[in-house]
Amino acid sequence: MKVSYESGASETIVLAAEELSVYLKRMIKELPETEWEIQLVSDESSFQADCNDSFRIRIGACGGCITGSNDRSVLLAVYDYLHYLGCRFLMPQKEYEIVPCIEKENLEVSYEKQASFFHRGVCIEGADSFENILGYIEWLPKVGFNSFFLQFKSPYAFMERWYRHLENPYVPAQDYTPMDAVRDMERLETEIKRRGMMLHKAGHGWTGEVLGYHTVSWNRETENDDEQFTHRMAMINGKRELFGGVPANTNLCYHNEDAIDAFVELVVDYAKKNPSMNYLHVWLADEYNNICECPECVQTTLSDQYVELLNEIDARMIEENLDTRIVFLLYQELLWPPVVQRLNHQERFVLMFAPISRTFEKSYELDGGETAIPVYVRNHVTLPTNLAENMAFLRQWQKIFEGGSFVYDYPLGRAHYGDFGYVHIAKVICSDIQKLDRMKLDGYISCQELRAAFPNALPNYMMAYTLFQKDVGEKEVIEEYFSACYGEDWEKALAYLTKLSDLNCCDYVNGKGERGSQEIAGRMEQVIQCCQEFEKEIDGHCGKDGMWDTFFWELLSYHRNYILLFADALRLLAEGEEEQAGQKWEAMREYICLNEQKYQPFFDVYRILEVTRKYTGLYKPQK
Ligand SMILES: [Zn+2]
């Protein structure tokens, strides 16, 4: 048996060949004889021009050919073929993949596929070790993703949270510096490029850099001796200062020429130094209602100033012969389209629609009719939770911009902690992706915790397969996933998690709605009951020797203990018993912190504790 490719093939094709050989050797006891050969070919010309990632698989009795529309598509094809043969890439952790034994006759098949969307990716959030990020990157093409986004100029913020164990008092902090993050980032980028994936970089942080701070996180600045750039800051209530002490959250006076020049030079310089980056994100501050009130800025809108800034960057990039694609962001104040300004060269730009304040109780609402966008009032903006209103903003922007675009969404950043079963959020993701065509958006980047597999990774799995084939079928994906994870009793596990999902409180955990709520309190009581009733079933999957039928049952057991504590804390909060809710939260914290190392890859302890304090309001330190 042989896997071959042309001499001089890229490292992506070489990796595809290695992977195919390794998996086939594991899967087939009796390998086909030597003349059996699979050729890997990257051939754009044999596919429709400008198509999304596409591939063709033709395997007969003597082997055959796997052809991709680009090198990355060859790698995607190899993994898709392995999936066809029965492999299941259930989570970013390689040890939980399913690799079946098959007969060599099963190798024969012919089919072709084209990805439904151009942009299919994930953006780093949460607290992550180097191994977490690397494992995630390795997993992405296995399930059909093609992009990864490292935020800021380095992913320091996310890695610092992990290595310093910021929310876990039981684990001693390790040192981790911005230089460590740069070193780790270089290795991660090598792995992204090795897979031919599209690399997105930067985003927030530019405003802090313009103010002279090395901005690779949302951390507060304590040193305040550098007054030389104060004039570049937004003036709010007559004062120019850091917003909450955080450079990444501070807006600039976008009328100030010195600030604009510095911004443009920083972006252009960064593009020059990062030739392997495919998409450069240029965003403003990560807070709202904090924009400049100086006499010049108030005569225009933030979006008009943003478009002017983007045009200046574009002009400088033309001078420098840089073809870097720039991603601009629609969220917060920037949801309101510019009044006067327009992008000069739309082909340079990609529109990123980020409905960060949306509800996750439901999927995108497209049938609500034409909703008007609210009147814009400087520094008195309320963000839209309503889906129809979010769509109305997008439509207004689409009237003036016709270039590439994708949605940047957050089902697995915060909201998922309110769906204990993960079935609800997986269905919302599936339904949202199926609506992207109608929204005139060509893809989806998920801004999310990378460790979001608790009780399992169905939401990410659903996202991946629906993005590649939007009509793949919600039910089929769920059945495939659950039967692979839980074995013959998978339907019981699904029924239990579906019940928990029906009792979800995604918006409540995310801080939306009144804290006192009989509805939520009632739901949490039912959640507790449901967990208690299923206890025996879960325990039945653990042998007398302490061995579990599959790891997913063990994870379900740990998950149940956590939900019992969490749901009780939420019940108390919803009943107005704040102090007792805080005590329950502390019990939950102790439980998950003490067990963190054991279940580290699946559950982001930093993030759940941050979300439940900051957004849910479960814990207020006693004065
Ligand atoms: Zn100003």
**DSSP letters spanning 454-512:** SS-SHHHHHHHHHHH-TTS-HHHHHHHHHHHHHGGGHHHHHHHHHHHHHT--HHHHTT-
User: Cα–Cα distance between 193 and 199 in angstroms, integer?
Assistant: 8
AA identity, residue 494: L
C-alpha 509 to ligand 1 mean position (Å): 36
H/E element, 318? helix 302-319
Instruction: Scan for tokens 């309101």, then name that residue.
Output: 336
pLDDT of residue 366: 84
Instruction: List the domain boundaries for the chain.
Output: 2-114, 119-485, 487-614
C-alpha 242 to ligand 1 mean position (Å): 14
C-alpha 304 to ligand 1 mean position (Å): 13
User: Cα–Cα distance between 18 and 258 in angstroms, integer?
Assistant: 52
C-alpha 341 to ligand 1 mean position (Å): 17
Which positions ≥6 away from 440 have C-beta within 8 Å?
A: 398, 405
C-alpha 279 to ligand 1 mean position (Å): 29
pLDDT of residue 577: 97
Cβ-count burial of 396 within 10 angstroms (0-12 exposed, 13-18 middle, 19+ buried)? middle
Cβ count near 31 (within 10 Å)? 12
pLDDT of residue 383: 87
C-alpha 358 to ligand 1 mean position (Å): 30
Tokens of 270: 């960064």
C-alpha 209 to ligand 1 mean position (Å): 18
User: Cα–Cα distance between 493 and 506 in angstroms, integer?
Assistant: 21
C-alpha 236 to ligand 1 mean position (Å): 9
User: Cα–Cα distance between 449 and 422 in angstroms, integer?
Assistant: 14
Tokens of 39: 């050729």
pLDDT of residue 487: 97
C-alpha 574 to ligand 1 mean position (Å): 43
- CATH number assigned to the domain covering 2-114: 3.30.379.10
pLDDT of residue 241: 94
C-alpha 87 to ligand 1 mean position (Å): 57
User: Cα–Cα distance between 240 and 294 in angstroms, integer?
Assistant: 10
DSSP state of 581: H
pLDDT of residue 223: 67
Tokens of 136: 């995630």
C-alpha 169 to ligand 1 mean position (Å): 43
User: Cα–Cα distance between 267 and 314 in angstroms, integer?
Assistant: 10
AA identity, residue 560: R
pTM over the 0.85 mark: yes
C-alpha 292 to ligand 1 mean position (Å): 5
Low-confidence ranges of the chain (pLDDT < 50): none
User: Cα–Cα distance between 446 and 407 in angstroms, integer?
Assistant: 8
Cβ count near 516 (within 10 Å)? 13
C-alpha 573 to ligand 1 mean position (Å): 42
Q: Give the total residue count for the chain.
A: 623
- CATH number assigned to the domain covering 119-485: 3.20.20.80
C-alpha 238 to ligand 1 mean position (Å): 11
In DSSP terms, 98 is beta-bridged to 88
C-alpha 53 to ligand 1 mean position (Å): 44
C-alpha 240 to ligand 1 mean position (Å): 10
Confirm if 39 and 65 have CB atoms less than 8 A apart.
yes
- CA-only gyration radius of the chain, Å: 25
Instruction: Scan for tokens 């993960």, then name that residue.
Output: 422
C-alpha 353 to ligand 1 mean position (Å): 25
User: Cα–Cα distance between 623 and 611 in angstroms, integer?
Assistant: 21
Distances in whole angstroms, Cα of residue 570 to Cα of each of 41, 355, 508, 613: 55, 26, 9, 12
C-alpha 583 to ligand 1 mean position (Å): 46
pLDDT of residue 372: 86
Instruction: Scan for tokens 């087939």, then name that residue.
Output: 28
User: How are beta strands 54-60 and 349-353 bridged, if at all?
Assistant: unpaired
pLDDT of residue 228: 85
Closest CA to 251 of 348, 310, 332, 354: 332
DSSP state of 321: T
Which string of DSSP letters, residue by residue, matches 105-123? GGG-EEEEEE-S-SEEEEE
Cβ-count burial of 514 within 10 angstroms (0-12 exposed, 13-18 middle, 19+ buried)? exposed
Confirm if 121 and 445 have CB atoms less than 8 A apart.
yes
C-alpha 335 to ligand 1 mean position (Å): 20
C-alpha 377 to ligand 1 mean position (Å): 16
Q: CA angle at residue 397 from 391 to 398, to 5 degrees? A: 85
For helices 518-539 and 490-502, the axis angle rounded to 10 degrees is 170
User: Cα–Cα distance between 548 and 486 in angstroms, integer?
Assistant: 11
User: Cα–Cα distance between 89 and 145 in angstroms, integer?
Assistant: 13
C-alpha 430 to ligand 1 mean position (Å): 42
**Helix, strand, or coil (residue 369):** coil
Closest CA to 250 of 284, 296, 294, 278: 284
C-alpha 251 to ligand 1 mean position (Å): 10
Cβ count near 188 (within 10 Å)? 21
C-alpha 249 to ligand 1 mean position (Å): 16
